[in-house]
Structure 1
Amino acid sequence: MNADRIISSAVLAVLLTLVPLHAAAQGATAKASETTAERAAENTSAKGNEKANANASDKSSAGYQVGERLVVRVAKVKGGFVEISWDDLIPTDWNPEGFLADLKLDQLEDNDPRAMEALQRMRAEWDHAPLVERMAGASVRLPGFVVPLETDGKKIREFLLVPYFGACVHVPPPPANQLIHVIPDKPVPAAWNMMPVWVSGVMAVGRIDSEMGVAGYQLRAVKVEEYKEDPPQRE
């Protein structure tokens, strides 16, 4: 297997996540017009593109595909915790793809050494993504997927909460402002690995590095419960 192709495909897979992030940061809709990521995708060979998206057809037992998110449709207060969305954790003036402008990603080929440069720069930028400081001390409730950090095979004692299915597992970690390190008051079942949940607790702001990614937020979870709403509808 061609190592250069793997690197390039990894860059593409992460770049494709920039579209919803950029739209959220600008308060735009999820459907964006042509982006840097899309132009890079158009110049990726069919074979490389198939490998980059091989996991996109994978479904969890709950029916989610890689990249699908859980949506908070109407913000409300439940049990003293204010429901927030992942967009609330992104500073409104942050452009997650701005640093890529000078890399000319539309000219990337599968064996282009600039693919490694793009991946390294992207990882560094994302691990130091700006945080929303006003979230410190907030009592919040939000949905996400469980990525275990500490487990004995029966219970999960620590985990990362991620905004879309497959993050940190099927595709590289999202920016630090889209990762929450969760320590639940009561361990959750190991069977909840990669499952959707609602998490309620008090937020702290500060980076924590783990083997699965750099989290910009921490949450002491008072309550972790299964996400009961229907999976996203696909056309």
Structure 2
Amino acid sequence: MKRFLRLSSLRRLSAVALLCLAAAGLALGGRAALAEKPAPAADYKVGDRLAPKGAAAGAFREISWDDLIPADWNPEKFFATLDLSDLQDNDPRALEAMNRIRAEWDKAPVVEKLAGSRVRIPGFIVPLESDGKTIKEFLLVPYFGACVHVPPPPANQLIHVIPDKPVPAAWNMAPVWVNGVMAISRVESDMGTAGYAMRGIKVEEYKEPLPR
């Protein structure tokens, strides 16, 4: 588990701010979802992540969500500047803390060397542009429910994808593999701020590995 945010010291933070922190923790150290067969989105719970396949496909190099986080970025360092010990539920300072955290996540640093890389990565689709039949633009998120059921994760855990070929509208929050070319681009949307952009050369349904 990589750089998982410790929340035990934040128990008195208001529910809304704690939810934001919990979402960030899931993004940086969530659990992988395993199954014996392909699973529709309905089979996932909020926070579930996808298990890596463990092999590259064709000309695309498989990467994980941890690969999008700079090695020297320490999200816990930011919490050292917040005094949360005396916050009560509904304390206005909790909302202020949440806003500060959100601002910190939105400017989270990225791995610049990934620019131009041909990669494949598993994740869940959060539509940004759809005509009801197809999805023409979406955010790829690392765990189920991100940006929809819980607040957005840090910018370095969101990828803005424009697929070469629109994907079915039924893939809303569905698990997929995206194969494409990575770019470094800060993209703001109503669903969250992405630190990466990707030309989706091929978007395919996610097939989960069998348990070993």
**TM-score over 0.5 for the alignment?**
yes
Matched, 1:14 2:20: yes
Whether the aligned pair in 2 keeps the contact of 1:166 and 1:194 (CA below 8 Å) is: yes
- Name the SS of the counterpart of 2:94 in structure 1: helix
Whichever structure has more helix as a proportion of its residues is 1
Describe how 1:68-79 pairs up with structure 2 within 5 A. Answer: 68-72=48-52, 74=54, 76-79=55-58
Identity of aligned residues (%): 65
Whether the aligned pair in 2 keeps the contact of 1:100 and 1:118 (CA below 8 Å) is: no
In the other structure, the counterpart of 2:172 is 193
Runs ≥4 in structure 1, deviation > 3 angstroms? 17-24
Matches of 1:228 and 1:179, distance apart in 2: 21
Q: Which letter does structure 2 place at the counterpart of 1:17?
A: A
Deviations 1:141-169 (A, max 9, x none): 00000000000000000000000000000
Please report the TM-score for the alignment, with normalisation by the length of structure 2. 0.83
Displacement of 1:171 after TM fit?
0.5
CA RMSD of aligned residues (A): 2.2
Taking structure 1 as reference, are residues 20 and 173 closer, same or farther at Cα in structure 2, changes over 3 Å only? Answer: closer
Structure 1: where are the runs of 5+ without partners? 1-6, 25-29, 31-59
Matched, 1:174 2:180: no
More relative contact order in 1 or in 2 (CA 8 Å, sep 6+)? 2
Taking structure 1 as reference, are residues 61 and 90 closer, same or farther at Cα in structure 2, changes over 3 Å only? Answer: closer
Matches of 1:23 and 1:102, distance apart in 2: 22
Whether the aligned pair in 1 keeps the contact of 2:23 and 2:146 (CA below 8 Å) is: no
Whether the aligned pair in 1 keeps the contact of 2:177 and 2:204 (CA below 8 Å) is: yes
Instruction: Figure out how many residues of one structure are paired with residues of the other and give that number.
Output: 191
Q: Which letter does structure 2 place at the counterpart of 1:15?
A: L
In the other structure, the counterpart of 1:228 is 207
Structure 2: where are the runs of 5+ without partners? 1-12, 32-39
Matched, 1:212 2:191: yes
Deviations 1:102-130 (A, max 9, x none): 32324321122221111111111110000
